[in-house]
Structures are given as C-alpha cells and as structure tokens.
A = this chain, B = another copy of it.
Amino acid sequence: MSSGEPLSALCSPALVVDVDKVKRNAQRMMERCHQLGVQLRPHMKTHKTLECADIMTGGSRRCIVVSTMAEATFYADHGFDDILYAYSLPFDKVERCAALSERLDLFQVLLDHPDALERLRKRPLKGGRRWHADGVELTGVYAHCGNTYNCEGVEQIQAVAQETTSFTLQFMEKLKAVGISCRSSIGSTPSCSHPVPDMGKLSEVHPGNYVFYDVQQSVIGSCALEDVAVRVLTRVVGHCPHRNQLLIDCGWTGISLDGAGKLPSGYAMIEGHPDLKLLSMTQEHGRVEPISGPLDCSKYPIGSLLTLIPYHSCAAAAMHPVYHVHSEGRLMGKWTPTRGW
C-alpha cells in the first residue's frame, strides 16, 4: 500500500484513522484545558501508539496516563516521561514499576489499599529515589468519573463532572487541613468534553478516548458523530436473501463484541446506511440485515465497501495489529500499537 492511495486500496477488515479529526479532537481538548487553567494528562489506552501520543501531548512526550505496564515500558522506551500508571498497584508488577521509577524522571503509581503501601516500602528505590504515589511520596489524588458513561446529554454529564469535582476538591481541603498538600486529577472523556468551571481548580484532568471518540460517546453527548475519527472498513462477501441478510468480512476480530444490545443498528453504525444493522458476528464474518423490511441485495454487490463506525473505539482498536492513517481519504501511513501487559 503506497501513500496517497484511496482507502479502497486497503484489504478489509481494516481500522482506519482520520488524522485530521484526531488532530482536531486533540487540539480542542488542549484548548479547553488551557482555558480552564488545568493541566491535560491524556490517557493512551484507546490507541497505544507513539504517533497519536505525540499529537495528544503536542509533541512534548510528557505527562501521560497508561493502563498497562506494556504501555508504560513502550512509551518510556521511546523517550516519554512523567508517566502515570493508572492502575491500583498490582502486586505482581512491583518490580517492573520499581525499574521504571528508577529510570524515568517521574513514574507515578496508584495506591488504594494499605497493603499496597507495604509492598512499596518493602522495595525501596535505588539512587535515593522515592516512589511517587499516594502515601510514599504522595503525589496526588486520582479519580476517573467513569459514571459519566451512564449519562445522556451535556446537562447530565456536567452534573456528574460537578459532583466529582466537588468531592475531589472537598477531599483536597480535608488533606490540607491535616497538613497534606498534593495534586488532584479527575476526568473521563464525557466530563472533559464538557467541563464545568470548577474543574479549573483541579491540578489536572486525564481523558483518553476523546482523541478517537466513538458512537458511544456521541450517544452520551460527548461529541457529534462527525467527530469520530475511526472506522472499520469492511466488504460485502455474501448475499443471504433466504435470511434477509448480507455477509460482511468484519467479524469480532475486526470490531470486538462491545456494544451488544446498545444500538438499534447493532454492534456498530454503518455509515450512510441508517437502515442497516450489524446483527451478529463470528470470528471473521458479520451478518447485516435491515432494521426493518426486506433487503435489496442488488444495492450491495459482492466486494462493495461498507464503513462501520465503532460503538467503542478502545475495543475496536484493541483488535487491530495496525491502524491505517488517512487524510481526506488518502492513505498517509500506518500506526502500530503496543499490546499485552
């Protein structure tokens, strides 16, 4: 696949990333945070690539969140620093966390249990370094506000954002009252897409999904459908008029099983075909049927392309060993994510 070719030159299924939308989503989040006066610490879990991390950090390669030690190591190996591992310290990974803490300027771990503090104390860092966490060198307080995912509309999102912010700020006051001052970080994609002014009183926010967005985020109200930067390209590979169905070459290896039962259009939205539903999938096939009424197979010749907008871009991206990046439908290159733990 050479650069400049149209998306239709790709074999399917393929995850395609609209780099202009990625840049726009990233830019808007940076501006929003700048206006609020809060530091943005973007989460890498949705894409797990260097290229997208560069866009999200404005090229600084500083101040990121990761969900796995595989990501932490991958980013550290490529010159990233100030990495926050947003996972309550897993006891099997203390040694790997110690190694990164000794190697990076700043590696932050989360503690949510006194036993975890004990584990850190049992593994003192070399070179006079201290663990950056809650309780050893208490760096800050971290909350996700994942309950924004139950919201519909900006009003509900902002109510949850306000509540989480208020709780966090009250907690910071209590810490201050006993002589502890440290940083505070909250945020999900919904709350950071529609922040409340009080979030400016926090030290930082840590959304991640916003760089791609997805159908779920558009249903919640975090974004418009046109902001979604990823698609899964698929082709019609069979006609099943006896079942009123099309077969496509995207199964659960191509888009994941996330979103079951959530959308009238099934496991994804089919761009430009609001009348179609991705009903079910096997490993390498999807079954598509009309939401109602009979299917006219002749409108979907074998080999023709369909474009799926993922319900959950984190889950869809996790199925792909490579993402195909384009600008206005012209291929620009590939991004390769890290995987594993």
User: Chain A at the B interface: mostly helix, strand, loop or mixed?
Assistant: loop
10 contacts between A and B (CB under 8 A): A11-B93, A12-B92, A45-B283, A45-B284, A146-B282, A252-B258, A252-B315, A257-B258, A260-B260, A321-B339
B284 near A67 (CB under 8 angstroms)? yes
Mark interface residues in A251-282 (1 if CB within 8 Å of B CB, else 0): 01110111010000000000000000000001
Contact between B257 and A11, CB atoms less than 8 A apart: no
A112 to chain B, nearest CB (A): 7
A320 & B302 in contact (Cβ 8 Å cutoff): no
On chain A, the number of residues with a Cβ less than 8 Å from chain B's Cβ atoms is 48
Q: Which of B90, B116, B249, B341 contacts A90 (CB 8 A)?
A: B249
A220 within 8 A of B: no
Closest 6 interchain pairs by CB? A91-B303, A257-B257, A321-B339, A321-B340, A11-B92, A67-B284
Chain B residue with Cβ nearest A282: B146
A237 at the binding interface (Cβ < 8 Å)? yes
A157 to chain B, nearest CB (A): 19
- Find the B residue at minimum CB distance from A258: B257
Q: How far is the CA of A87 from the CA of B253 in the complex (A)?
A: 15
A235 touches B (CB below 8 Å): yes
Query: In the complex the two chains form, is B341's CB within 8 Å of A11's CB?
Result: yes
Alpha-carbon distance A318/B282, docked complex (angstroms): 13
A12–B92 Cα distance when bound, in Å, is: 8
Chain B residue at minimum C-beta to C-beta distance from A340: B321
Please give the distance in Å from A74's CB to the nearest CB on chain B. Answer: 12
